[in-house]
Structure 1
Amino acid sequence: MPKYLISFEKDAMDHIPEEDFAEVGAAARAVCQEAEDAGVFVFSDGLSYDDGDVEHAVVDVDAMVIDGPYPESKELIGGIFIVDVPTREAALEWAAKVAVACRCAQDVRKFRGPNAV
């Protein structure tokens, strides 16, 4: 089955009050558990930008390391959820569940697959 990346931008959850984050986290974990129970869960996590350490780096084609996002980057990923489902429609259904749980829009993209060139 094809795998789909469901993701949202780094600042997509900035509108959520801090006191609601525990509820949002619980809702997101519930969607992950539902996907796991359905046998379609591959991976899910959020990306850290605020821990003070430079964890994000870009290695250019000349092997030069740039700490932080690539200078031309316009968007950074805030969180990802990967599912292994038979159709785009199924991926969109999971994206809708993630959107409700995380209270923000989700981007859905299909992986090319291991045999793609």
Structure 2
Amino acid sequence: MPRYLISFENGAMDHILEEDIADVGKAAHAVCQEAKDAGVFRFAGGFQYANGDVEHAVVGTDGVVMDGPYPESKELIGGVLIVDVPTRDDALFWAGKIAAACRCPQDVRKFMDDPDLVE
């Protein structure tokens, strides 16, 4: 089945009040559990950029490591959910659930099919 990346940008949840963060976390975990129960969950996680110390690096084709943020880098990702579902509509369904839980819009992208990389 196709796999989809559902993600949001770093900072997309900045509007959430500190006292509401725990509820958002519980709601997001509940969606992930629902996806597990449905057999479509593959991975989920967030990225931490604590105290402005971005744990991000870019490795060039020459092997040189540049600690981020790197000017040519795209927006930093805040969190991801990967689902394995039969259709784009199914991916959009799960994106809607996680968007409601996380209180921010979600980006949905389909992974390219590569039979050599599928388990």
TM range (shorter): over 0.9
* Percent of aligned pairs sharing the same letter: 70
Specify every segment of 5 or more residues in structure 2 that has no aligned partner in the other structure, as ranges. Answer: none
Residue 75 of structure 2 corresponds to which residue in structure 1? Answer: 75
8 A contact 2:8–2:104 mirrored in 1: yes
Q: TM-score, normalised by structure 1?
A: 0.93
Residue 85 of structure 2 corresponds to which residue in structure 1? Answer: 85
Specify every segment of 5 or more residues in structure 1 that has no aligned partner in the other structure, as ranges. Answer: none
Q: Does 1:60 align with 2:60?
A: yes
Q: Does 1:23 align with 2:35?
A: no
Distance in 2, Cα, partners of 1:17 & 1:54 = 22
Distance in 1, Cα, partners of 2:3 & 2:42 = 8
What amino acid does structure 2 have at the position aligned with 1:30? A
Q: TM-score, normalised by structure 2?
A: 0.91
Q: What is the aligned residue count? A: 116
After superposition, the CA RMSD in angstroms is 1.5
8 A contact 2:35–2:41 mirrored in 1: yes
Residue 39 of structure 1 corresponds to which residue in structure 2? Answer: 39
List structure 1 segments (4+ residues) > 3 angstroms apart after TM superposition. Answer: 51-54
Distance in 1, Cα, partners of 2:105 & 2:2 = 22
Out of 10-19 and 72-81, give the one that drifted further.
Answer: 72-81
